[in-house]
Amino acid sequence: MRASTSRADRWPPLLRPVVRLVVRVRRWWFMRRFNAAYARLRADPVAWAEELEERRLFENTLMDGLEDDPWPREDIDQWMREPPRRDGGRR
Protein backbone atom coordinates (compact mmCIF):
# COMPACT_ATOMS: atom_id res chain seq x y z
CA MET A 1 0.00 0.00 0.00
CA ARG A 2 1.43 3.37 -0.96
CA ALA A 3 1.12 6.60 0.96
CA SER A 4 -1.48 9.06 -0.32
CA THR A 5 -0.07 12.14 -1.98
CA SER A 6 -3.26 14.15 -1.70
CA ARG A 7 -6.76 14.08 -0.27
CA ALA A 8 -8.13 13.22 -3.68
CA ASP A 9 -6.30 9.88 -3.74
CA ARG A 10 -8.64 8.59 -1.05
CA TRP A 11 -11.67 9.00 -3.33
CA PRO A 12 -12.82 6.81 -6.23
CA PRO A 13 -11.09 7.68 -9.50
CA LEU A 14 -14.12 9.39 -11.06
CA LEU A 15 -14.49 11.75 -8.10
CA ARG A 16 -10.80 12.68 -7.78
CA PRO A 17 -10.91 15.65 -10.17
CA VAL A 18 -13.93 17.04 -8.32
CA VAL A 19 -12.23 16.63 -4.93
CA ARG A 20 -9.07 18.31 -6.23
CA LEU A 21 -11.14 21.21 -7.52
CA VAL A 22 -12.95 21.58 -4.20
CA VAL A 23 -9.64 21.60 -2.31
CA ARG A 24 -8.20 24.23 -4.67
CA VAL A 25 -11.29 26.45 -4.38
CA ARG A 26 -11.22 26.18 -0.58
CA ARG A 27 -7.55 27.17 -0.51
CA TRP A 28 -8.19 30.05 -2.91
CA TRP A 29 -11.15 31.25 -0.85
CA PHE A 30 -9.18 31.02 2.41
CA MET A 31 -6.23 32.96 0.99
CA ARG A 32 -8.55 35.57 -0.49
CA ARG A 33 -10.17 36.16 2.90
CA PHE A 34 -6.80 36.06 4.66
CA ASN A 35 -5.30 38.66 2.30
CA ALA A 36 -8.35 40.92 2.67
CA ALA A 37 -8.09 40.75 6.48
CA TYR A 38 -4.37 41.52 6.32
CA ALA A 39 -5.03 44.49 4.02
CA ARG A 40 -7.62 45.83 6.49
CA LEU A 41 -5.09 45.45 9.30
CA ARG A 42 -2.42 47.34 7.33
CA ALA A 43 -4.91 50.07 6.45
CA ASP A 44 -5.67 50.81 10.12
CA PRO A 45 -2.62 52.72 11.49
CA VAL A 46 -3.48 52.08 15.15
CA ALA A 47 -4.06 48.34 14.67
CA TRP A 48 -0.93 48.03 12.51
CA ALA A 49 1.18 49.79 15.16
CA GLU A 50 -0.16 47.36 17.77
CA GLU A 51 0.68 44.43 15.50
CA LEU A 52 4.25 45.64 14.99
CA GLU A 53 4.67 46.19 18.74
CA GLU A 54 3.44 42.67 19.45
CA ARG A 55 5.86 41.24 16.89
CA ARG A 56 8.70 43.20 18.49
CA LEU A 57 7.81 41.76 21.90
CA PHE A 58 7.77 38.22 20.55
CA GLU A 59 11.15 38.69 18.85
CA ASN A 60 12.64 39.35 22.28
CA THR A 61 11.45 35.95 23.53
CA LEU A 62 13.24 33.89 20.89
CA MET A 63 16.39 33.49 22.98
CA ASP A 64 14.73 33.22 26.42
CA GLY A 65 16.45 30.56 28.46
CA LEU A 66 19.13 29.85 25.86
CA GLU A 67 21.99 31.63 27.63
CA ASP A 68 23.40 28.25 28.76
CA ASP A 69 22.53 26.46 25.54
CA PRO A 70 25.07 23.69 24.78
CA TRP A 71 24.74 24.57 21.06
CA PRO A 72 25.71 28.24 20.73
CA ARG A 73 24.07 30.06 17.85
CA GLU A 74 27.42 30.79 16.21
CA ASP A 75 28.20 27.05 15.98
CA ILE A 76 24.84 26.36 14.37
CA ASP A 77 25.30 29.19 11.86
CA GLN A 78 28.74 27.88 10.92
CA TRP A 79 27.41 24.32 10.62
CA MET A 80 24.63 25.53 8.31
CA ARG A 81 27.11 27.39 6.06
CA GLU A 82 29.31 24.33 5.56
CA PRO A 83 28.59 22.52 2.33
CA PRO A 84 27.30 18.96 2.75
CA ARG A 85 29.70 16.14 2.01
CA ARG A 86 29.14 13.96 -1.01
CA ASP A 87 28.07 11.09 1.25
CA GLY A 88 25.20 13.25 2.56
CA GLY A 89 26.76 14.09 5.94
CA ARG A 90 28.32 17.26 7.16
CA ARG A 91 31.92 17.92 8.02
- Closest Cα partner for 80 from 69, 64, 67, 91? 91
- What distance in Å separates the CA atoms of residue 48 and residue 41, rounded to the nearest whole number? 6
Consecutive H or E run containing 38: helix 16-43
pLDDT digits (tens, 9 = 90+) for 18-54: 888 999 999 999 999 999 999 999 999 999 999 999 9
pLDDT digits (tens, 9 = 90+) for 70-82: 666 666 666 667 7
- What distance in Å separates the CA atoms of residue 57 and residue 46, rounded to the nearest whole number? 17
